[in-house]
Structure 1
Amino acid sequence: MSQSKLKLPTRPRSYRFAMTPLADAMFQLLIFFMLTSSLTPYSLLTLQTPAEAPQEDQAGLGPSPAPQAPSTPPDTAIWTLDAETIVVGGQDFTFDDLDALADALGTEAAPGNVVILIRDTARVQDVTTVLARLSGANVGSVRVAQGAQ
């Protein structure tokens, strides 16, 4: 006599996605990028006056005559950024005075320009703070250069 087996309904097999290996990989990448970002040197722009800059004519055949200086050149302020201080005209200012310094640079009609000389003691956060505050002020252009020690 053959026995018939009663078949019970089976649930379709569901595959679960394991989040633990994914989270482990994300944390490893996070730690890797946090460590390597502080090892990357921050490059600074070198200052080059218009007299030093090589100029070529439009055809690229040779140097062209130097352009005429504008009749009213825009004011350019030179700031030296040190550890949590800004030196302007030989006077030390804190970051609390930065808004007043930026407002004194110019107006909307005639924005002033700033050259920031960064000393070795300045931190990256100091540079970021100065650039963020200058972005909202009446400043035509901001140039960053490495300053002397």
Structure 2
Amino acid sequence: MAAPAPLGAAGGGALAGRLAGPARGRRGFSLTPLADIMFQLLIFFMLSSSLAPYALLPMSPPASATATAPEAPDRPAPQAAPAAPAQVIWHLEHGALRAGTERIPLAALPGALDALRAEGIDDIVVFVSQAARAQDIADLLEPVRRAGFARLQLIGG
């Protein structure tokens, strides 16, 4: 009786050739092209979308919990010609507002708004400089909203 041929020897059949050859690992699925496409789509949508302009932000005064709707009079009282609304112009910089030569830190803004309210000013125009950050704009908008000013105009520079 003949001894069986070793697996690596010639003539061992189809199975012997597969076992004797170099071991090949299973090729995995590469996620690199998928990640590249996802980053390209992300950049495309970020650049093609637009943010809400600041002019569209609502500036309504805060509602008080105890306030009720005032009753409208039957007939409006006669008035003289309406006076032009008082207006102040500020320049928003990094961490502060500039009104002429006066510099107002954003931390002191509620006091400055109270002084404007006492003078009867209800319209604020703010020129936003290149040095101002988005946080500076947010730090400006919140106190102005709380103070209940009728109008706030932001003008980019």
TM-score normalised by L of structure 1: 0.50
Which structure has the bigger radius of gyration? 2
Q: Which has the higher helix share?
A: 2
TM normalised by structure 2 equals 0.47
